[in-house]
Amino acid sequence: MVEISEKRNGASETNNRVIAMPLWNDRLGEFERVTELPERLKEELEQFFLNTAFFTSKKLKLNGWSDAKAATRFIKRSAVR
């Protein structure tokens, strides 16, 4: 999961992005952890998410990467809302 803070009109909120890959996808090989992703791929994903807000009033800040357990907790907390 890419942890992202979003700021718009003075208000700040968390707007994380969960990265998932189907089990049957072997294009990049098998990855169990985010630390196993090639650095170049991580940089491209980060830039992609920053570019999605380029023409908006949103200001995004990348706060780092989290593991699958953190992503699962994030998804469960979001589902409760």
Are the beta carbons of 75 and 18 closer than 8 angstroms? yes
The model's pLDDT over 60-79, given as tens digits with 9 standing for 90+, comes to: 999 999 988 999 999 998 88
Chain mean position to CA 68: 11
**pLDDT digit string, tens, across residues 6-54:** 998 888 998 999 988 777 766 656 677 778 888 998 999 999 999 988 8
Entry pTM: 0.75
- Quote the CA–CA distance of 56 and 50 in Å, as a whole number: 11
